[in-house]
A = this chain, B = another copy of it.
Amino acid sequence: MSHAYEYERPALTVDCVIFGLDLEEESLKVMLIERDLEPFAGRWAIPGGFVRQGESLEAAALRELEEETGISDVFLEQLYTFGAPGRDPRGWIVSVAYYALVSPDKHHVTAATDARRAEWFTVTKLPSLAFDHNDIMRAALQRLRGKLAYAPIGFELLPRKFTIKQLQKLYEIVLGEKLDNRNFRKKIFSMDVLRELDEIQKGVPHRAARLYKFDERKYKQLMKQGMNFEL
């Protein structure tokens, strides 16, 4: 590790897999951008862009997110860094991948500031993506599925006020398996991280469900006391 300047330097990008939930059609979505330039013009890709000097990686990811989709203030976590030689035909480009979880409250979506098309795709029906973005997507899905079980990140995909059924649906959609509603309720209530609201669901043609929100304060408290979230 002598001088930093003896070496060729890669270009550095961040790519951000943006997850959203469609509760109506009960599917997990990701936002993709249609490339207008070569290479891979016309192909869909994970939104991303170059990191600027003086900017942290996370800041770059947040900036790209905002610029390309108009989305801000979301859950964001670093995923993995992709640097295989040849992954980008333009040259040596290393990409730090992030994933974001966007609640339906914030699907202002498709509001890309530049002219590129941005669209939500159902994760089970993805087109073949540009670059090594299929790999990135695979990694992101694996991480989301894995982490959902032991970290309270699912709430980031729901509206701030949600019903237990919606929460259960979220788990069923992402994990791809049916869950027993009685057991699910017992488990989630036993963890004592939900705050029951005085409000109920509106506009449903049947009995309305009670609304809840995730009590982050209580969650952090319990974590300090050594509880562990698991679903």
Asked if A183 is at the interface (CB within 8 A of a chain B CB), the reply is: no
Q: Which of A17-25, A44-52, A192-200, A217-225 lies at the interface with chain B?
A: A44-52
Count, chain A residues at interface, CB 8 A: 38
**Structural contact, B1 and A11, CB atoms closer than 8 A:** no
A6: chain B residues within 8 A (beta carbon):
50
**Structural contact, B13 and A12, CB atoms closer than 8 A:** no
Interface string of A53-87 (1 = CB under 8 A from B): 11111000000000000000000001011011100
Q: Given A12-B9, A78-B80, A83-B56 in contact, is the A93-B4 Cβ separation under 8 Å?
A: yes
Shortest CB-to-CB span from A7 to chain B, Å, is 5
Asked if A96 is at the interface (CB within 8 A of a chain B CB), the reply is: yes
Asked if A91 is at the interface (CB within 8 A of a chain B CB), the reply is: yes
Shortest CB-to-CB span from A16 to chain B, Å, is 12
Asked if A10 is at the interface (CB within 8 A of a chain B CB), the reply is: yes
Of the residues B2, B10, B88, contact of A53 by C-beta under 8 Å: B10
Asked if A90 is at the interface (CB within 8 A of a chain B CB), the reply is: yes
A2 to B48, CA, bound (A): 11
A85: chain B residues within 8 A (beta carbon):
53-56
A2: chain B residues within 8 A (beta carbon):
37
Asked if A136 is at the interface (CB within 8 A of a chain B CB), the reply is: no
Interface residues, chain A, with chain B CB atoms under 8 Å away: 1-13, 35, 37, 48-57, 78, 80-81, 83-85, 88, 90-94, 96
Q: Can you list 6 A-B pairs, Cβ within 8 angstroms, ordered by A? A: A2-B37, A4-B90, A6-B50, A9-B12, A12-B83, A55-B85
